[in-house]
Amino acid sequence: MVRAAGRLADLDIGPDARALPLPSTGGPILFSVLTSEPDGVALPNERGLALDGHDAPHARLTAAISLLSEPDPTKPAQGGYEAGLIAEWLRWLHPDLSRTEARGLGERLRRLVRAARGNRSHGIAPEDAAGIARTILDAVARL
């Protein structure tokens, strides 16, 4: 809703508008997003929204980890790209973190996610995502 001339006016985003929790993968909800897309918010957009701030870093990183794409043999660079986005977010969280250190943490995060997935073809448990986020944030704090 937008306040217009002292009253609330509905945003005109279509008849299918609804609020969806972010992340959509389960676990703690950061916030809800308004969408009119029939399939909800696209995974890359969800991840971007999760990393679109630095308040509540553990919650945001946990959400981003839970929203990482599934391994896809047709897109071998996708995991590295996603880890790179998280590494850049870490650099804004901790300005003294070098690009090399951030990339190393991004790779560590990928290994931890891969281990948490094990043989499952999809997702990781919310508590695993939270543990990985804590491990990475603790490593950042020690630098």
pLDDT at 4: 46
The pLDDT tens digits along the chain (143 residues) read 444 444 434 667 777 788 888 888 877 888 888 888 888 888 888 899 999 999 999 999 999 998 887 777 788 888 889 999 999 999 999 989 999 999 999 999 999 998 998 876 667 888 999 999 999 999 999 98
Positive or negative, the CA dihedral 112, 23, 69, 141 is negative
H or E stretch including 18? strand 18-22
Q: CB under 8 Å to 42, separation ≥6 — which residues?
A: none
pLDDT at 58: 96
CA 86 and chain centroid, separation: 8
H or E stretch including 126? helix 126-142
Cα separations (Å) of 133 from 26, 30, 36, 140?
Answer: 16, 15, 31, 11
Q: Which residues face 33 on adjacent strands?
A: 20
